[in-house]
Structure 1
Amino acid sequence: MYKLTTHSTIAEIPAPTWNALADPDTPFMRHEFLHAMEEHGCVGERLGWIPTHLALRDDNDRVVAAAPCYIKLNSYGEFVFDWSWADAYERSGRRYYPKLVIASPYTPATGPRILRGRAQQPDALARALAQGAVQVAERLGVSSLHWLFTTDEETTQLEKTGLMRRVGCQFHWQTRGYATFDDFLSSLSAAKRKMIKRERRRVAESGLRIRRVRGDAVTEAEWAIFHQLYCDTFDKRGGLPTLTLPFFLQIAESMGEQLLLVLAYDGPAVVAAAFNLLGPRSLYGRHWGCFRDYHSLHFEACYYQGLDHCIEKGLERFEPGAQGEHKISRGFLPTRTWSAHWIAEPDFRSAVSRFLLAETQSMDDYIVEMDRRSPYRSDTAMDPT
Structure 2
Amino acid sequence: MDSSEITLEAVSSVSQVAAEDWDACANPVPGPAPDGLDALVLPDNSGCNSKHYYNPFLSHAFFLSLEASGSACARTGWASRHLLARRDGMIAGIVPCYLKSHSQGEYVFDRGWADAYERAGGRYYPKLQVSVPFTPVTGPRLLIRDGVDMDEIGAALATGIVALCQATKASSAHVTFAREAEAKLLARHGFLQRTDQQFHWQNQGYGSFDDFLATLNSRHRKAIRRERREALAAGITIHPLSGNDITEEAWDAFFAFYMQTGSRKWGRPYLNRAFFSLVGESMAKDVLLIMARRNNRWIAGAINFVGSETLFGRNWGAIEHHPFLHFEVCYYQAIDFAIARGLKTVEAGAQGEHKLARGYLPQTTYSAHFIADPGLRRAIDDYLKRERAYVAQAARELTAAAPFRKTADEEHE
- Interval of TM-score (by shorter of Structure 1 and Structure 2): over 0.9
Q: CA deviation at 1:244?
A: 1.4
User: Secondary structure of 1:18's partner?
Assistant: helix
What is the rounded CA distance, in whole Å, between the counterparts of 1:374 and 1:238 in structure 2? 30
Gaps of 5+ in 1: 381-385
SS at match of 1:334: strand
1:80 matched to which residue of 2?
108
Aligned-partner Cα distance in 2 for 1:197–1:360: 36
Per mean C-alpha deviation after superposition, the further-off stretch among 9-18 and 235-244 is 235-244
Aligned residue number for residue 19 of structure 1 = 23
- Check if 1:148 corresponds to 2:152: no
From 299, 305, 314, the counterpart of 2:333: 305
Q: Is 1:204 matched up with 2:232?
A: yes
1:37 and 1:43 in contact (8 A); partners too:
yes
For residues 147 and 194 of structure 2, the distance between their equivalents in structure 1, rounded to whole angstroms, comes to 27
Asked if 1:191 is matched to 2:219, the reply is: yes
Counterpart CA distance in 2 for 1:119 and 1:162 is: 27
- Whole-Å Cα distance in 2 between the matches of residues 103 and 216 of structure 1? 29
Q: 1:46 aligns with which of 75, 84, 98?
A: 75
Match among 295, 311, 316 for residue 288 of structure 1: 316
Runs of 5+ in structure 2 lacking a partner?
Answer: 28-52, 409-413
Give the structure 2 partner of residue 127 of structure 1: 155
Contact 1:100–1:142 (CA under 8 A) maintained in structure 2: yes
How many residues of Structure 1 are paired with residues of Structure 2 in the alignment?
Answer: 379
Kept in 2: contact 1:169–1:337 (CA 8 A): yes
Q: Does the 8 Å contact 1:123/1:157 carry over to 2?
A: no
State the 1:295 CA deviation.
1.4
Deviation of 1:46 (Å): 2.3
Question: Among 248, 263, 270, which residue is 2:298 paired with?
Answer: 270
Q: Which residue of 2 aligns with 1:327?
A: 355
Between stretches 20-29 and 336-345, larger displacement belongs to 20-29
Q: Distance in 2 between matches of 1:357 and 1:47?
A: 33
Q: Deviating runs (4+, > 3 A) in structure 1?
A: none
For residue 228 of structure 1, the aligned residue among 256, 260, 267 is 256
Which residue of 2 is the match for residue 339 of structure 1? 367
2: distance between equivalents of 1:122 and 1:202? 51
Residue 68 (1) aligns with residue 120 (2): no
Per the alignment, residue 6 of structure 1 pairs with 10
TM-score with structure 2 setting the length: 0.90
Of residues 71-80 and 36-45 in structure 1, the stretch that sits farther from structure 2 once superposed is: 36-45
CA–CA separation in structure 2 for the residues paired with 1:325 and 1:213: 28
Distance across 1 between alignment mates of 2:58 and 2:118: 32
The answer to whether the 8 Å contact 2:289/2:301 transfers is: yes
* Contact kept in structure 1, 2:232 and 2:325, CA below 8 Å: no
Deviation at 1:159, TM superposition (A): 1.1
Describe how 1:370-381 pairs up with structure 2 within 5 A.
Answer: 370-379=398-407
Separation (CA, whole Å) in 2 of partners of 1:246 and 1:56: 31
- Asked if residue 358 in structure 1 is aligned to residue 386 in structure 2, the reply is yes
Shift of residue 156, structure 1, vs aligned partner: 1.2
The question of whether the paired residues in 1 share the 8 Å contact of 2:105 and 2:270 is answered with: no
Q: For residues 332 and 235 of structure 1, what CA distance do their matches in structure 2 show?
A: 27
Cα distance in 1 for partners of 2:334, 2:248 equals: 22
Greater alpha carbon shift after TM alignment, 219-228 vs 43-52: 43-52
1:165–1:119 distance in 2 versus 1, CA, 3 Å: farther
Separation in structure 2 between the aligned mates of residue 242 and residue 198 of structure 1, nearest angstrom: 34
Matched-pair contact (CA < 8 Å) for 1:19–1:31: yes
**Secondary structure at 2:142's aligned position in 1?**
coil
Aligned to 1:168: 196
1:282-306: CA deviation from partner (whole Å, max 9, x where unpaired): 0111111111111110000000000
Deviation at 1:325, TM superposition (A): 0.6
Q: 1:354 Cα shift?
A: 0.8
The answer to whether the 8 Å contact 2:213/2:221 transfers is: yes
- Counterpart pick for 2:396 among 340, 347, 368: 368
Q: Distance in 2 between matches of 1:131 and 1:43?
A: 25
- Conserved in 1, the CA contact under 8 Å of 2:258 and 2:317? yes
Q: Give yes or no for contact 1:258–1:279 (8 Å, CA) kept in 2.
A: yes
Q: Is the 8 A contact 2:142 2:157 kept in 1?
A: yes
Q: Is the 8 A contact 1:28 1:104 kept in 2?
A: yes
Q: Secondary structure at the match of 2:144?
A: coil
- Report deviation, 1:379: 4.2
Distance in 2, Cα, partners of 1:62 & 1:158 = 24
1:92 paired to 2:120:
yes
- Secondary structure of 2:232's partner? helix
Matched, 1:31 2:44: no
Post-superposition shift, 1:86?
Answer: 0.3
